[in-house]
Structure 1
Amino acid sequence: MLRELKILLLLIIVVGIIYWGVEPLAHSIMHPKVAPADYEFKDLDKIDLSKGDAQKGKKLVTENCTACHGIKAEKINPPMDNASSASSYGVVPPDLSNIAAVLDHNFLANFIKNPVKATELSHKFGDSNPYPMPGYDWMSDDEISDIVAYLASIASKNLSDKDVFTQACDRCHSIRYDKMVALTPDADLERYLGTKAPDLSMMIRSRGPKELSVFINNPQKMIPNTPMPRVGLTQQAEKQVISYLEKVGDSKKAQRDSLGIKIMIFFAVMALLAYAWKRKIWSDLH
């Protein structure tokens, strides 16, 4: 009995060293610690959006935004088809129907004012390589506030997880597991980004929810100088994107987790039975 306890103690020590020592060290090297997600976007200017006038904003959007963007909620079609838009801009401009439902409103205001700063893509875009959308920093904060108010007034209040993903991600990313193809053709997207945008069908299993939450919130924290922009999703919208990726790429997760608990209980019971059987056998020999 004493010998068995010594062996058990040795196993506990070895496993403990590996689990609490070696594994965290390896993880820290492969996944360096980064700052947590910032859903307040503290680096951006705080624009007063409290007095935004949706009617004034509608006029401003019609005059300044519909030359590139469609607004299905208002029955405004985009001026070009996706292929033509991608060829002209490098990426298909988003439909604006639900943009204010998924983006933080202060981020959206800052994006309108200075898209390169808001998306943290100054390493990619400059004078020699301008961002596809011009900055509207010539507008007053009140006018930008009016635009955000209008976009918020037309946005749906009950978007599904897939709806949020579509609004936020499908201009660049495909989900083949759900038969969703990126709006921007691969050739244009590769020219625009400098690399292909990955299919996200299995991204939830390769990255995991925790890492994805930081990456979606600010890709530069995880991959410095990546061409993927900071999208500006609210925390709720980000949760819905990750939820959709889980449904598509890891639909059996809940079932697998519950089965894991049952297996651990089974092993514990079998271990007790094996020990009781061993005690019985050895008791006859001694």
Structure 2
Amino acid sequence: MKRKLATTVFALAVGLIAQTASAASEGGGHLQHAGVNARDVAAVQRGAKWFVNYCLSCHSAQYMRYNRLVEDLGLSEDQVMNNLVFSDAKIGETMDIAMRPEQATAWLGKAPPDLSLSARSRGTDWLYTYLLTFYQDESGGWNNLMLPNASMPHVLWQLQGIQKPVYAEHGDEAVVDHLVVDTPGLQTPEEYAQTARDIATFLDYLSEPAKLQRKSIGIWVMLFLAAFALVAYALKAEYWRDVH
């Protein structure tokens, strides 16, 4: 039984290492630290604004309801409906899109993925870096260092501008060394980095909305356990005092 359990644990560890290596080799970009803090309500609010304006037309967030934004982000129903809902959806409905999967497949070649759990599956640093590393290649199409040959266009190009690659020789082939802004956007590089960080922050919140409440409750639980440990030790000492 012990040998079987050890074999299972070893197989899981090997599988996790292989999965991590595969994910790391998926793109050629280097992860940049996002510095995301899902407890920063202002950043989550800004990220929600960018998300519904630039992402929600193609990517759904079908596990999130609009009224949850009211509860967690300190917004009123009117603020959510007037600023974050651009369809006929009601406050209690999920953040879905009008485009059906079969329509998306016919028009785009592939249905865009739901982003409800993207921060948990990819990580906020990956999402942040992905939003920063779109560039226009020699064919005039969009490409990305983190996800090469992705079919997604750079929907935020007006904010960031157009980046072009600078190549370096790597053996017998040229690889992208870094990106430079060829056509400036509406935002400065620092402002766009903050926009990307806000979107990653909202996606982090989106992937686990209970995280904010869970961590707050967790602090009190740990304090209670620490206090209870003292009481339990004192009670044990009292019970065993006459024995010794």
TM-score normalised according to structure 2 size: 0.44
Structure with a larger share of its residues in helix? 1
Structure with a larger share of its residues in strand? 2
Higher RCO, 1 vs 2 (CA within 8 Å, ≥6 residues apart):
2
